[in-house]
């Protein structure tokens, strides 16, 4: 779900001791097609030809539609397509690569499909565009911030997707939760969390946790994710203010266009990476990392003894109908849990990781779209789970389970016994 550009870009990149690097990366996909009735399932794996490493978070979707999925950490994916006809075009894209398009019926079992990020005419790209003033990294960020009203929706819309909540204490996994939900937004100017319809819960494995956890009610996994949204709540490294310092690192391919890759630093605790479209100045991807320094965090210890040492938030967006919508979100933390606020006795280290994968966007007839606000924000997801719905999950687009994830689930099952 990315913008298609038909004309070449003439970009001037002029920063101290920096040059544009030619991207000649090729990825291969092993594709298999399974057809049943009027539904097809495309399966495959995304690999980088240069180093043969898996490419995660590649988008696989129907052209002109908002239905899709992403590759997992092993580069593997499963994409279920309903109401298939010969005109369906499947697009595969990833930040740092140019996209490819194929008719759905042209995919062949175990077919290798080349995805190249090579710029066709590097000389043209490097040519100085003398008619344009070169923007500094900070000016690019500020321009992207000003363009938010043009690039993000300000009318109601619904996002649908899959949530995964993985928790670890020291070296032991204690939780693996998966669910599907719909999110009803009122546009980016409405600074509040969306309404949520909890659709189904896929897995709900909770092993015995440290006794410290018994004192505290487990937080709702979905609410913990949607509370963090830089664009909606107008904060963070996107504003180009306060102590943030920016550097234009490079220009990288995205679909058939280019994006600025900008790094930011807000000493002593914060670092950011921003990917900004060179044409529309839309934020394509935002990453913020906070790390404790010299055992001092940007936050005080909580009264319960919890001390946050690491925080990583990733927000990646996709274009649909001329606006940018959330595609993927990750929040990953490290907490040192002490016996109390003033205690130096470490009880254990907690590693929560939550992810949201959007697989559908609804912008038309939102008022008439089936939606029931049913999630209790004050209760954990596992306490709201219904019986497992095998039919729902058999054709629902989620990232393919990796071998590592399968082992985590098996470990949890054994611990629960």
Kindly report the average pLDDT of the chain as a whole number.
84
Whether 80 and 166 map to the same domain: the answer is no
Whether 293 and 363 map to the same domain: the answer is yes
Whether 92 and 176 map to the same domain: the answer is no
Write down the pLDDT at residue 25.
Answer: 47
In a domain, 139, yes or no: no
The number of domains in the chain is: 2
In a domain, 398, yes or no: yes
Say if residue 302 is preceded by a cis peptide, omega within 30 of 0.
Answer: no
What would the two tokens of residue 241 be?
């203010």
In a domain, 380, yes or no: yes
In this prediction, residues 50-72 reach a mean pLDDT of 87
Write down the pLDDT at residue 44.
Answer: 84
In a domain, 125, yes or no: no
Q: Do the beta carbons of residue 369 and residue 363 sit within 8 Å? A: no
Whether 102 and 157 map to the same domain: the answer is no
Which residues form the domain of 218?
151-416
pLDDT tens sequence across 286-333: 999 999 887 677 766 788 899 899 999 999 999 999 999 999 999 999
**Cα(307)–Cα(288) distance, integer angstroms:** 19
CA 366 to mean position of chain CA atoms: 24
**Cα(138)–Cα(240) distance, integer angstroms:** 6
Which CATH number goes with the domain that contains 44? 2.60.40
Whether 107 and 202 map to the same domain: the answer is no
Q: Do the beta carbons of residue 298 and residue 176 sit within 8 Å? A: no
In a domain, 265, yes or no: yes
Residue 126: band (very low, low, confident or very high) from pLDDT cuts 50, 70, 90: very low
Whether 52 and 155 map to the same domain: the answer is no
Write down the pLDDT at residue 189.
Answer: 87
pLDDT tens sequence across 145-157: 999 999 999 999 9
Question: What predicted TM-score, i.e. pTM, was given to this entire model?
Answer: 0.88
In a domain, 410, yes or no: yes
Residues 6+ apart with CB under 8 A from 296: none
In a domain, 384, yes or no: yes
Write down the pLDDT at residue 30.
Answer: 58
Q: Which of 27-31, 219-223, 329-333 is modeled with the greatest confidence?
A: 329-333
**Cα(226)–Cα(333) distance, integer angstroms:** 15
Whether 107 and 191 map to the same domain: the answer is no
Higher pLDDT pick, 346 / 299: 346
Whether 233 and 314 map to the same domain: the answer is yes
């Amino acid at each position: 779900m990315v913008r298609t550009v038909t004309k070449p870009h003439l970009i001037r990149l002029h920063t101290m001791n920096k040059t544009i690097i030619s991207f000649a990366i090729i990825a291969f996909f092993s594709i298999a097609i399974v057809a049943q009735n009027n539904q097809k399932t495309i399966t495959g794996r995304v690999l980088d030809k240069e180093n043969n490493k898996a490419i995660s978070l590649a988008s696989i979707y129907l052209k002109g539609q908002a239905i899709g999925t992403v590759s997992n950490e092993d580069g593997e994916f499963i994409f279920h397509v309903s109401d298939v006809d010969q005109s369906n075009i499947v697009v595969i894209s990833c930040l740092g690569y140019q996209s490819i398009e194929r008719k759905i019926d042209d995919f062949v079992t175990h077919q290798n499909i080349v995805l190249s990020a090579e710029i066709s005419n590097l000389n043209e790209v490097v040519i100085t565009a003398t008619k344009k003033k070169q923007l500094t990294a900070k000016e690019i960020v500020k321009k992207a911030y000003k363009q938010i009203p043009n690039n993000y929706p300000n009318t109601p819309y619904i996002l649908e997707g899959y949530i995964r909540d993985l928790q670890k204490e020291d070296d032991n996994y204690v939780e693996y939760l998966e669910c599907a939900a719909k999110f009803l937004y009122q546009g980016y100017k409405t600074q509040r969390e969306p309404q949520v319809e909890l659709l189904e819960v896929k897995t709900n494995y909770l092993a015995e946790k440290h006794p410290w956890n018994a004192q505290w009610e487990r937080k709702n996994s979905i609410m913990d994710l949607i509370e963090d949204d830089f664009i909606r709540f107008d904060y963070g490294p996107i504003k180009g203010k306060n102590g943030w310092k920016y550097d234009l690192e490079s220009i990288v391919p995205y679909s058939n266009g280019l994006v600025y890759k900008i790094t930011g630093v807000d000493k002593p605790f914060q670092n950011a990476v921003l990917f900004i479209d060179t044409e529309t100045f839309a934020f394509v991807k935002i990453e913020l990392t906070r790390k404790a320094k010299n055992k001092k965090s940007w936050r005080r210890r909580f009264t319960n003894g919890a001390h946050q040492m690491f925080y990583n938030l990733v927000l990646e967006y996709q274009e649909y109908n001329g606006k940018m919508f959330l595609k993927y979100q990750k929040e990953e933390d490290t907490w040192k849990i002490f016996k109390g606020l003033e205690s130096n006795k470490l009880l254990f280290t907690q590693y929560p990781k939550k992810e949201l994968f959007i697989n559908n966007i609804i912008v038309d007839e939102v008022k008439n779209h089936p939606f029931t606000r049913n999630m209790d924000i004050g209760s954990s997801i596992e306490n709201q789970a219904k019986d497992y719905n095998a039919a729902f999950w058999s054709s629902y687009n989620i990232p393919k389970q990796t071998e590592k994830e399968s082992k985590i689930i098996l470990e949890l099952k054994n611990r629960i016994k």
